[in-house]
Chain A
Amino acid sequence: MSAGLSKFGKREGLYSRELFAEAANEAFKRCPNLEPKKDIEALFVGHMGESYEHQGHTGPTVSDWSGLLPIQATRVENACASSSVALRCGIFAILSGMCDIVMVGGVEKMTHRTTPDVTAFLAMASDYPFEQWHGITFPGLYALMATAHMHEYETTEEQMAMVAVKNHHYGAMNPKAHMQKEVTLEKAMSSRVIAWPLKLYDCSLITDGASCLVLTKPELEREFTDTPIHVIGSGQASDAIGLYERDNLTTLKAAKLAAKEAYQMAKVKPKDIDIAEVHDCFTIAEIIASEDLGFCKPGEGGRLIESDATTLEGEIPVNLSGGLKSKGHPVGATGTGQAYEIYLQLTGQAEEKRQVDGAEIGLAHNVGGSGATAAVHIFRRK
């Protein structure tokens, strides 16, 4: 029935709980008939790392700052997919019949730490004894996938840079995006190497932010909103924590399985999707996502970005929010942040220059770690 998103960016002087309250406040204001303290029965919040603020126990903390005590408040942690999994927990709560109205969301405060610290914290989403211990960083894992994709399908560094150019183009139009500026192909290609073949502009941003949704059952929706958005498909799957254990390094099996589950539940096909937010934590990840979601055949993700099919005017617009690349990637907030963008698009509330005209069906694809968790949600305007 409602959604909220804090401004994404370098939010100096704020704690996670304050960022979450900013998102919750927007969701409350969008829904004047909602009495949050009386109506909301449970909160599920995605939050990856207690290291950033030396603060765990996120559920009650953000609940308190959002005025929701004493309802049950639960932290969900599935790395960068934490808040999509929180969304699924909310769906379970409502479909079980135990709750009528729940809030789901996510938060992360990252920018006050040094890059080596953040690199170390993010690496915790990968395998410790065989990956982290051998110096494999998070960009390193996606770089290993990129090298394999380049070798198997002749995907190029230039195609990866095109993902950055596109997503920065749309991020520049999004007032809540972290980095609201265009980048040229030349600048992206000549940026410093982080983990070859990935360069600075192939990597998403270290960002502070929070996001949330308020869910209810269809029988109650009209009491709260004239523009309800239905979750028509939801899928989640898991894979080995270690990238090296997987059969195929050029696809995320968990994402394919989650997508299959979501498409089947929604009874829609990839060609029916009007707008997608995909997990472009690195540019290669958007290329692989477009293949895993069936927007193109395996191996053709590089050519898909070249064809402009994923732009606002194309057949399947992808990451018109700017994506993790330009809007930013406050890891715990990312999944429901993607859902927030789909909410805006399906209710016609995105900024005019990046609004898909008449969008009816939207998809959000959220990946945890290097693909040990993936969750896909499909939404439809009612």
Chain B
Amino acid sequence: MAETHPFTIEAFYRFASEKRLMAARCNKCGTLLLPPRPMCTECLSTDLKWVELEKRGKLLTYTVIHVAPTRFQSMVPYTVGIVKLKDGLKLPGMIRGVEPQELEVDMELEADFDTTLPSEWPTWPRYFFRPP
């Protein structure tokens, strides 16, 4: 996918379907934007570029979901967490490949991609996290 694509959430997920974790960087003030946005929220510049993020990060917090909306009911219990990536940006997502009792704040995780879903609004290919 071309890196001239508009700085949208849809583009983020289209990159994800290519197994890439992409953010926007402001060419004026250097701020990294995740989710990407059409305008820098710090200096309001629209002079942006796509940058690829490192997939590794540390788990900041987590929960094990037992009661879920219908769409996710077949998956319970499942684990979700917020991961702080190496670039300092944070992303929430499901954590796979770790038993709930083995989860620990600060553990290393890596983003991976489930590309089996159609890449159309509002169903995107999901990224998720797993032990490296």
Chain A residues lying within 8 Å of B73, measured Cβ to Cβ, are 116
Please encode chain A, from 296 to 336, with 1 for each CB lying within 8 Å of some chain B CB and 0 for all others.
00000000000000000000000000000000000000000
- Asked whether B43 is an interface residue with its Cβ less than 8 Å from the other chain, the reply is no
**Known interface pairs A129-B9, A129-B35, A249-B60; A137-B70 also in contact (CB < 8 Å):** no
Chain B residues lying within 8 Å of A116, measured Cβ to Cβ, are 67-70, 73
B110 to chain A, nearest CB (A): 16
Q: A144 contacts B61, CB within 8 Å?
A: yes
**Known interface pairs A133-B124, A134-B126, A245-B90; A147-B63 also in contact (CB < 8 Å):** yes
Q: A193 contacts B66, CB within 8 Å?
A: yes
Chain B residues lying within 8 Å of A128, measured Cβ to Cβ, are 122
- Asked whether B105 is an interface residue with its Cβ less than 8 Å from the other chain, the reply is yes
Chain A residues lying within 8 Å of B91, measured Cβ to Cβ, are 130, 244
- Asked whether B29 is an interface residue with its Cβ less than 8 Å from the other chain, the reply is no
Q: B68 contacts A119, CB within 8 Å?
A: yes
Q: In chain A between 261 and 308, which residues have their CB closer than 8 angstroms to a CB of chain B? A: none
User: Which of B35, B78, B105 is the one whose CB lies under 8 Å from A135?
Assistant: B78
A271 to chain B, nearest CB (A): 32
Q: A143 contacts B63, CB within 8 Å?
A: yes
Q: B67 contacts A194, CB within 8 Å?
A: yes
Residue with the greatest number of chain A CB neighbours at <10 A, chosen from B68, B94, B105, B126 = B68
Q: A151 contacts B105, CB within 8 Å?
A: yes
Q: A192 contacts B61, CB within 8 Å?
A: no
User: Which of B35, B63, B66 is the one whose CB lies under 8 Å from A144?
Assistant: B63
Chain B residues lying within 8 Å of A242, measured Cβ to Cβ, are 35, 92
**Known interface pairs A129-B9, A196-B64; A137-B69 also in contact (CB < 8 Å):** yes
Chain B residues lying within 8 Å of A151, measured Cβ to Cβ, are 61, 105
**Known interface pairs A129-B9, A196-B100, A243-B82; A137-B61 also in contact (CB < 8 Å):** no
Number of A-B contacts (CB under 8 A): 103
Residue with the greatest number of chain B CB neighbours at <10 A, chosen from A135, A147, A197, A243 = A135
Q: B69 contacts A119, CB within 8 Å?
A: yes
Please encode chain A, from 122 to 142, with 1 for each CB lying within 8 Å of some chain B CB and 0 for all others.
010000111111111101100
Chain B residues lying within 8 Å of A243, measured Cβ to Cβ, are 82, 92
Please encode chain B, from 27 to 40, with 1 for each CB lying within 8 Å of some chain A CB and 0 for all others.
00000000100000
- Asked whether A115 is an interface residue with its Cβ less than 8 Å from the other chain, the reply is yes
Q: In chain A between 201 and 224, which residues have their CB closer than 8 angstroms to a CB of chain B? A: none
Interface size class of B (residues with CB under 8 A): 20 to 34
Q: B64 contacts A137, CB within 8 Å?
A: no
A246 to chain B, nearest CB (A): 8
B39 to chain A, nearest CB (A): 15
Question: Looking at chain A's contact residues, is the secondary structure mostly helix, strand, loop, or mixed?
Answer: helix
> What's the Cα separation between A133 and B125 when bound, in Å?
10
Interface residues of A, CB < 8 Å — how many? 37
> What's the Cα separation between A131 and B90 when bound, in Å?
12
Q: A133 contacts B122, CB within 8 Å?
A: yes
Chain B residues lying within 8 Å of A144, measured Cβ to Cβ, are 61-63, 80-82, 92
**Known interface pairs A148-B61, A151-B105; A134-B80 also in contact (CB < 8 Å):** yes
A123 to chain B, nearest CB (A): 6
- Asked whether A95 is an interface residue with its Cβ less than 8 Å from the other chain, the reply is no
Chain A residues lying within 8 Å of B65, measured Cβ to Cβ, are 135-137, 139-140, 143, 195
Residue with the greatest number of chain A CB neighbours at <10 A, chosen from B64, B92, B93, B105 = B92
* Chain B residue, CB-CB nearest to A142: B63
Chain B residues lying within 8 Å of A146, measured Cβ to Cβ, are 63
User: Which of A135, A145, A147, A148 is the one whose CB lies under 8 Å from B75?
Assistant: A135
- Asked whether A14 is an interface residue with its Cβ less than 8 Å from the other chain, the reply is no
> What's the Cα separation between A133 and B72 when bound, in Å?
10
Q: B62 contacts A147, CB within 8 Å?
A: yes
Beyond A192-B66, A249-B82, 7 additional contacts (C-beta under 8 Å) are A116-B67, A129-B9, A144-B80, A148-B60, A194-B67, A195-B64, A244-B91
- Which of A's residues lie within 8 Å of B, judged by CB? 115-117, 119-120, 123, 128-137, 139-140, 143-148, 151, 192-198, 242-245, 249
